Structure 1
Amino acid sequence: MKRTRGRGHQLPVRYRESSGCFGQLARLSMGLLVIAGLTLLLTRPQLSAAIGHRIADLLVPSRETAVAPVPGLIAALPNGTITVSEAAINGYLNEIEATLPVESVNVRLISDRVIASIHAYGVTSVVSSGIAVQDGKLVMINPQLEGPLAALLSVRELTAVLNERLNAEFVRQGRQIVAVHVDNGTLTIVTR
């Protein structure tokens, strides 16, 4: 569409090449969001594995330490069947809370799932998983992570590290889990 002034004179139509300051700010913001998203996508598995190793080192260290709670707990398991209540698990977690990098942990046992509410660094996240024994090893079935930590951590990498370290501790102590069952409020473990 051309505009004319008088006879024979045409004014060129000006098109804006830029949308001004707002357009530049929008493009810059989108660029930063893409960079942040790619960084999170690429570093999430490594971050999850690193945090998993840190938690595993606190709970089940790869070498002998006096402060790690899980080796002593595994050694205390009697051969045969033992049933542990939700209250006993939470009581034990309250006793060892000082060794964990969290403010509080609360475990619920609900029909084949263990659900742990973890409050750390001012935020609460929920980790839930089924537990089973496969090929003589304790494994987590369909683990899920909800809350703010889910954006930063991959639950698959985190549980892989914890499963590996926990099963290595069972082997180190010459113990074997034969079966495990979670019912409403109780955890039943069969060991040899």
Structure 2
Amino acid sequence: MNVAQYIRASRTARVSAAVLCTAALAACGGHRAGDAGDARPSAATTSFTEQGVTVTLTVSEWHGSTGTLSAVFAPERKGFHLYSTDLPADGVEGVGRPTAISVSGAVKADGRPAASADVRSITVPGVEAPVPVYPDGPVTLTLPVRADGDGGGDRGGEATVLLGYASCSAQDGCTIPVSGHPVHLNVTADGATFSPR
């Protein structure tokens, strides 16, 4: 094979490979997630920090009138934990506050929040009953949600996410509890986005 034949053969191989790649993409839907042709909406995200915990909220997997609302509660300092969602509203003998997420308005909860970590019990000086907490560090609550026709969700509308929590450390004590911190959500037929107000 001379040089000219070698170059022609190499070009043919590259063109064939390109054709095969294009065919493979077409067979798999013709584009990657996030390309302009992707029908799936991107996830909406917002965050805030209060009393030593950064909370990151995400609305994802919105299909028709349902989606998933996730909240990551991340203590800023090492060795701090958050309390179980099942903790009483006033804590155990006044200690702790439940990690909480709820929605109202154009979006309703479509189930109970699920936590990414297992609950464990700790003993606190001066408290007789065990206190249920998540392991030190971040914990994620996931809540299935649906657009609510009464709140205007089928035509679009506004919703409010309310978040509550307290973080504590066995060595450094507890931060001031946060109760009912509001985050606003705009709901449309295509999904939900967070409002800056």
**Bin for the TM-score computed over the shorter chain:** under 0.3
Q: Structure 1 length normalisation: TM-score?
A: 0.28
Larger-Rg structure: 1
Structure ranking higher in helix proportion: 1
Structure ranking higher in strand proportion: 2
Q: Structure 2 length normalisation: TM-score?
A: 0.27
